[in-house]
């Protein structure tokens, strides 16, 4: 059984981390498959939104597998499989698997079906919209194991939260409830388990029905303007405006509204 399941429903790609017996911990195989799936998603114009979730009802993702991934990265074991060799020989695999140093302009929604810890938490931080079940717990326990988060949390988390809150999560290594995560703004909302994927798909479908050039320009500008001065950010906004307003989709949207019909966007 593959460590990552992938299927498309129209313009929505659904990726399911599929190691429920290990709380969907990230093995070398899963990291490679995630990296490849995100790359393929980025290149496929027919796919407009990705929903990322985990198999089972215990965990979204518990982070790097302590039995396979971490010993490989620390040198405690040697490469035994092609997946192992890719992780060691292609450093960009680990980055792409967590959407780190990989500028994906299409939206990604996290459907957090259970505990979201360590590398799973870091991958969540790279997603744009986050839905969670009530029983999920969130945390970065790496320091407790004499490790550090290295899939983006050291940089991303202090940009999302006030510094004291980010530092407590990073340094103490504890966990927080879904309610606390929502109160901090880490997740958009909490849903009963049976409503999680239906709501994620409804939201993905709404986004996928919007102008694809506009959606990508919005995400690209938001990501690119982080850390810039206001004027530098406005320059990116101006460039996005020129690109989008010059498109056929930008003419089709208002025309369809005036004609009281659904727009037909072609991404050009």
138 and 121 Cβ atoms separated by less than 8 Å: yes
Decide if 9 is catalytic. Answer: no
Strand (E) positions, the chain? 4-9, 12-17, 49-54, 59-61, 108-112, 115-117, 129-132, 137-139, 175-177, 189-190
State the average pLDDT for the chain. Answer: 94
Q: Which residues of the chain have pLDDT under 70?
A: none
Q: Residue ranges of the domains in the chain?
A: 4-208, 212-258
Closest CA to 99 of 89, 84, 109: 109
Closest CA to 151 of 192, 96, 76, 83: 96
173-186: pLDDT as tens digits:
999 999 999 999 99
Q: Give me the pLDDT at residue 32, please.
A: 96
The burial of 241, by beta-carbon neighbours within 10 Å (0-12 exposed, 13-18 middle, 19 or more buried), is given as middle
User: Right CATH number for 4-208 from 3.30.750.24, 3.40.50.800, 1.10.10.60, 3.90.226.10?
Assistant: 3.90.226.10
Write down the catalytic residue from 29, 105, 122, 194: 122
Decide if 199 is catalytic. Answer: no
CATH architecture of 212-258: Orthogonal Bundle (1.10)
Write down the catalytic residue from 9, 29, 105, 142: 142
Q: What pTM was estimated for this model as a whole?
A: 0.93
Dist. CA 184–CA 205, nearest whole Å: 27
């Amino acid at each position: 059984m593959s460590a990552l399941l992938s299927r498309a429903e129209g313009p929505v790609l659904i990726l399911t981390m599929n190691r429920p017996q290990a709380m969907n911990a990230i093995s070398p195989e899963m990291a490679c498959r995630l990296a490849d799936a995100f790359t393929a998603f980025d290149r496929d114009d027919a796919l407009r939104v990705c929903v990322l979730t985990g198999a089972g009802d215990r965990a979204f993702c518990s982070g790097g597998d302590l039995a396979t991934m971490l010993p490989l990265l620390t040198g405690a074991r040697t490469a035994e499989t092609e997946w192992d060799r890719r992780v060691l020989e292609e450093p960009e695999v680990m980055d792409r698997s967590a959407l780190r140093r990989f500028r994906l302009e299409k939206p990604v929604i996290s459907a957090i079906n259970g505990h979201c810890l360590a590398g799973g938490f870091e991958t969540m931080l790279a997603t744009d919209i986050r839905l969670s079940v009530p029983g999920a717990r969130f945390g970065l326990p790496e320091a407790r194991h004499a490790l550090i988060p290295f899939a983006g949390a050291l940089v991303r988390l202090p940009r999302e939260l006030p510094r004291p809150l980010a530092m407590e999560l990073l340094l103490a290594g504890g966990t927080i409830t879904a309610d606390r995560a929502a109160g901090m703004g880490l997740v958009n909302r909490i849903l009963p388990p049976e409503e999680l994927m239906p709501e994620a798909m409804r939201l993905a479908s709404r986004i996928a029905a919007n102008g694809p050039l506009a959606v990508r320009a919005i995400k690209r500008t938001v990501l690119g303007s982080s850390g810039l001065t206001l004027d530098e950010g406005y320059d990116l906004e101006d460039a996005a405006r020129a690109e989008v307003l010059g498109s056929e989709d930008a003419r089709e949207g208002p025309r369809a509204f005036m004609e009281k019909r659904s727009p037909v966007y072609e991404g050009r």
